[in-house]
Amino acid sequence: MSVNTKILYIPEPETKRIVIVGGGFGGLKLALKLRKLNFQIVLIDRNNYHLFQPLLYQVAMSGLEPSAISFPLRKVLQNTHIHFRMAELEAVHPDINEISTDIGVLSYDFLILATGAKTNFFGNVAIEKNSMQMKSAPDALFIRNRILRNFEKSLNKATKEDISTYLNVAIIGGGPTGVELAGAVAEMKKYVLPKDYPELDMNNMKIMLFEASPRLLAGMSQEASVTAKKYLEELGVEVRTGTAVLNYDDRVLSLPNNESINVKNVIWAAGVTSGRIEGISDQSYGRNNRLVVNRFNQVEGYPNIFAIGDNSLMTEEAYPNGHPQVAQVALQQASLLSRNIKRMGKNKPLKQFHYHDKGSMATVGRHLAVADLPFGKFKGYIAWMLWSIVHLLSIIGVKNKLFILLDWTWKYITYDQALRLLIKHKARA
């Protein structure tokens, strides 16, 4: 029996209840796919909005406002009869088919866990405490504020070493997030910051990208990796592959061979993991705390609990270590699971999931991008246009699409980003 006795009130259904935890790509698509079936659908998320995470880096780099890549869940769910509650999952009680949240307990007939992933600091407490991460809108705003604030502080530093410390930016992790962040910072340094800070010598600013593995964009082709590195270096980014960052104390970044770099702006983008859920057996977890699921997305040991997206670990012949933690996996799993739930209601056999890779893309800067697609590999302007179109079409909401298109057009014409605002919260006495 759960400890929390407060009830999360949802009208008792006349049919079976499906509870979906997580309003990301997979969770939201699944809820919308199930809305016309004869079930009561309850969607739970810690936020009241859906966030388009692939463009978070542009919020961090003053290119977009958070509202442009966020969409209210209640607006999406209008006229759907889907119940939404803003709550945080605390525990699952499989023996009584119940979950505990921070606002109460709720029973379920089927539970779908689509809780996504969080930043993986690999147990390094100092780096977790002192570096910046980018998994949420508040994280992106914090990065924007921190970097701009350090630029302001650099104006009052007397020595070249101190000035460089506050101007330097180090990004740890050479995946798509790290590559796109590094490119965005480099473009700011080239086009924007010299105009904003004419008193500063931008030669004192170093942009560094560290990757522990031998190459960037490990999930993409060798050609894409080499091209992305070339683009970044042309933009002035110091790319260091095969270099694992050892520690960071809020000023000194420690590297192998006793090397150290003074830097106040460190962004960690080196990996993700999933958070463990109280009540789920340890035997149900695999690598990086991902829930082990079968080809029907059922969590190992729990026939009426499913997991989709980043927090699930499903293996198939082409993916012996699990699928990549990207939006396409979550969306495809949500589509098949909705059909399988319908089959379960009709006592029909379930269909196994098979991931169809639709390709990968990463952008570095203006007219600079790489794309590995099923129909070919692209780079430069064509890849940049493809990346822009795909991301723009993936945004929820016509208004958001228009705002992003306007911001992108303004930036393209003026070489400027107009959102360099330091918005600080002042605590009340």
Rounded (5°) CA angle 142-145-151: 140
* Cα end-to-end span (Å), the chain: 42
β-strands 207-211, 237-241: how paired?
parallel
Cβ-in-10-Å burial (0-12, 13-18, 19+) of 165 comes to buried
CA atoms within 13 A on the CB side of 410: 13
**What are the tokens at 405?**
């298109």
β-strands 83-86, 89-93: how paired?
unpaired
Q: What are phi and psi of 382, to 5 degrees?
A: -65, -45
Q: Which residues contact 37 (CB under 8 A, 6 or more apart)?
A: 338, 341, 342, 345
Cβ atoms within 10 Å, residue 221: 14
Q: Is 88 a catalytic residue?
A: no
Q: Which residues contact 86 (CB under 8 A, 6 or more apart)?
A: 44, 45, 46, 47, 48
**What are the tokens at 415?**
């070489």
Q: Give the DSSP per-residue string, 25-56.
A: HHHHHHHHHHTTSSSEEEEEESSSEEE-GGGH
Cβ atoms within 10 Å, residue 392: 15
Q: Reduce the DSSP state of residue 291 to 3 states and report it.
A: strand
| Marked catalytic residue, from 180, 199, 300, 317 | 180
β-strands 169-172, 265-268: how paired?
parallel
The residues carrying an active-site annotation are 180
